[in-house]
Structure 1
Amino acid sequence: MILDDFLVRAALAGAGVACAAGPLGCFVVWRRMAYFGDAASHAAILGVALALAADVPVFGGVLLAAAAMAAGAAKLAGRSWAMDTLLGVAAHSALAVGLVTAALLPGVRLDLETYLFGDILAVGRGDLLVIWGAAAGVSALVAWRWRGLIASTLNADLAAAEEHDPELERLVLALALALLVAAGIKVVGALLITAMLVIPAAAARSFAKTPEAMAVQAAGIGMAAAGLGLALAWHADAPAGPSIVVAATVILALSMSLRGLLDRA
């Protein structure tokens, strides 16, 4: 069967994460929420440690930890500290606590490199089901609240006038982000998942004329980066997760250069 090939499974896993990360990453870029993504993704390591300690599926632990971090940050932002300060503290504290907790777990040997940088080449059939299920959940959430998310991104008063609740939209983004982190940790790892949110969306922004076009283009760029990154990892014997991010960065650089040439023409 085709799924017996580990490269096919890896490509499908990368495509699944890219499909979900593209549209969601657009809102991260529009709202300038890169630190928000870092906070949720860094909390994933704490979720891994707690899941292993409680002997429950890692996906569930990561999802709960990332959701708690994202929802908490969304609720507290702007109430006491500046957003970047709050998220910076939350992100690095969660990562540090997770690493220390993992080190103190008795009788548990945790492969931190896998969770920090991903291990897409080790994705199995069960992992594919989880990744594509989570990607479908993220896509459904974003599609369901698309108009409300767009309105609240543009202006909170505009969203209220159109009978959208900005607070609800923030919580929807938090849940979608948590789902993506839980799915993406196997592919690119906790330290690189934010790159898959931000870089394809930033590249798509150079040419997209509508929010919908930017979301579709970001998903396509993410899928292209996943394929190119896997090819680079295969031929250069490089780590797959970082190779995918390198490929996305190259695409971003090329898109910015092309945009500059078109603007000067």
Structure 2
Amino acid sequence: MLDDFLVRAGLAGVGLSLATGPLGAFVVWRRMAYFGDATAHAAILGVALALATDLPIGLGTLVVALAMAVTVATLAARGWAMDTTLGVLAHSALAFGLVAVSFFPTVRTNLSSYLFGDILAVSRADLALVWIGALAVAGLLAWRWQGLLTSTLNEDLAHAAGIRPERERMVLVLALAVVVAVSLKVVGALLIAAMLIIPAAAARGLARNPEAMAAMAVLIGAASALGGLMLSLWQDTPAGPSIIVVAALLFAATASLGRMRG
């Protein structure tokens, strides 16, 4: 069955949604959208690092994404103005990455696949990496769910319950870095944040509780991935952006449904 590239692409999209659904819910609740952008943009710098040191692309991406996420989390804890800081870091990391990658002529022609993803070229090894990473992130979030939820709701309440908000923040940082590393091949650096935010935002208008929102975000993300692949096959459009287009349409539909219910 896995000889069919469309099946592999569909499985990769569904697997990725297992991680982006619940993680995206926390990104939306904590208003970390730009945080996700900065980490995703750093992935291109990770590609350059991997090429320069002969490391696997996924490992180089993970190292740089984790370094960026930890840097941003540390600056946030020290009271830096996050909108400006994240803007500087996100665009600087992307620019440095693009310049660094340009020194490798063999990669230049494939640069769009790192920026927008190439889900149709997902191999069996890539598919295994996506599912292992997604299941690891989903398991981590499930394990720390109550602590993450309490610290997101109110840090003073978390302290009173014996929960360290700083530790829970680092859990999210680690999860975000892993998701960026495993999803670079699927949707690309420029679209990772959209895959995190749009399904979760679409689920927010329909869910009655946090757990339901996370579950709905997984379903909407999976539907977006499969629908985007169908759109790409039907209209011969780029697969990664097509996935985000379907996610945006689902967001518009759920927002309209939420208004009618309201």
TM category (shorter chain) comes to over 0.9
Compute the TM-score of the two structures, normalised by the length of structure 2: 0.98
Give the 3-state SS of the residue equivalent to 1:222 in structure 2: helix
8 Å contact kept, 1:18–1:219: yes
How large is the Cα RMSD of the aligned pairs? Answer: 1.0
Q: Deviations over 1:78-124 (max 9, x none)?
A: 5253111111111111000101111124x643311000000000000
Q: Deviations over 1:204-248 (max 9, x none)?
A: 000101110000000000000001000000000000000000000
Task: Tell me what 1:156 maps to.
Answer: 155
8 Å contact kept, 1:22–1:197: yes
Question: Within 1, Cα distance between the matches of 2:40 and 2:243?
Answer: 17
Question: Within 2, Cα distance between the matches of 1:249 and 1:51?
Answer: 33
Task: Tell me what 1:172 maps to.
Answer: 171
Answering whether residue 84 of structure 2 is matched by residue 85 of structure 1, we say yes
Answering whether residue 232 of structure 2 is matched by residue 233 of structure 1, we say yes
Task: Tell me what 1:109 maps to.
Answer: 107
Question: Within 2, Cα distance between the matches of 1:109 and 1:192?
Answer: 19
Q: Deviations over 1:165-192 (max 9, x none)?
A: 1111111100000110011111110000
Question: Within 1, Cα distance between the matches of 2:15 and 2:33?
Answer: 21
Tell me, which stretches of 5 or more residues in structure 2 are unaligned? none
Give the 3-state SS of the residue equivalent to 1:207 in structure 2: coil
Task: Tell me what 2:140 maps to.
Answer: 141
8 Å contact kept, 1:9–1:124: yes
In the superposition, relative to structure 1, how do residues 154 and 80 fare at CA in structure 2: closer, same or farther (>3 Å)?
Answer: closer
One-letter amino acid matched to 1:132: W
Question: Within 1, Cα distance between the matches of 2:71 and 2:140?
Answer: 19
Question: Within 2, Cα distance between the matches of 1:137 and 1:45?
Answer: 23
Q: Cα distance, 1:72 vs. partner?
A: 1.1
Question: Within 2, Cα distance between the matches of 1:78 and 1:137?
Answer: 26
8 Å contact kept, 1:226–1:244: yes
Task: Tell me what 1:63 maps to.
Answer: 62
Give the 3-state SS of the residue equivalent to 1:141 in structure 2: helix
Question: Within 2, Cα distance between the matches of 1:183 and 1:78?
Answer: 27
Answering whether residue 21 of structure 2 is matched by residue 53 of structure 1, we say no
Question: Within 2, Cα distance between the matches of 1:177 and 1:109?
Answer: 25
Question: Within 1, Cα distance between the matches of 2:25 and 2:194?
Answer: 12
Task: Tell me what 2:21 maps to.
Answer: 22
Compute the TM-score of the two structures, normalised by the length of structure 1: 0.97
Taking every aligned residue pair, what percent have the same amino acid on both sides? 61
Question: Within 2, Cα distance between the matches of 1:109 and 1:76?
Answer: 33
One-letter amino acid matched to 2:22: P
Structure 1 segments of 4+ aligned residues over 3 angstroms from their partners: none
Q: Cα distance, 1:262 vs. partner?
A: 1.8
Task: Tell me what 2:242 maps to.
Answer: 243
8 Å contact kept, 1:77–1:86: no
One-letter amino acid matched to 1:39: A
Give the 3-state SS of the residue equivalent to 1:109 in structure 2: helix
Question: Within 2, Cα distance between the matches of 1:73 and 1:7?
Answer: 37
Q: Cα distance, 1:259 vs. partner?
A: 1.1
One-letter amino acid matched to 1:222: G
